[in-house]
Amino acid sequence: MLQCTTMSKKDDVKAKISFFQAFIILIVTTLFAIFGYVAIHYKEFDLVLGVGTAGAIVVLLAMLGVFVRYFVKCLKKLKDMK
């Protein structure tokens, strides 16, 4: 089994921070895309599309909350290391 032991703990935390940052940007971009789609196609919305869109927004907001929470946790950990 391969293990990467060359990274220090500080580098590991920095890698996690950039990982969470990338996913936060991805989720926010996806939310803007959903809102843009809704704004363009609001006349064609029916119940199924509305429920699906609302469900997607709820799931994305929950994921955003989790990623922001871990992002802040990693930032605090990095601050404590310095």
Contact 57, 34 (CB under 8 A): yes
What global pTM score does this model have?
A: 0.79
- pLDDT value of position 22: 95
19-33 pLDDT per residue, tens: 999 999 999 999 999
Whole-number Å distance between alpha carbons of 23 and 30: 10
Contact 13, 77 (CB under 8 A): yes
Domain range summary for the chain, segments of one domain joined by +: 9-81
**Which residue in this structure is represented by tokens 């789609």?**
37
Q: DSSP alpha helices (H): ranges in 1-82?
A: 9-40, 47-81
- Is it the case that residue 13 has pLDDT exceeding 80? yes
How confident is residue 2, by pLDDT bands cut at 50, 70 and 90? very low
- pLDDT value of position 1: 44
Whole-number Å distance between alpha carbons of 30 and 60: 8
Whole-number Å distance between alpha carbons of 19 and 23: 6
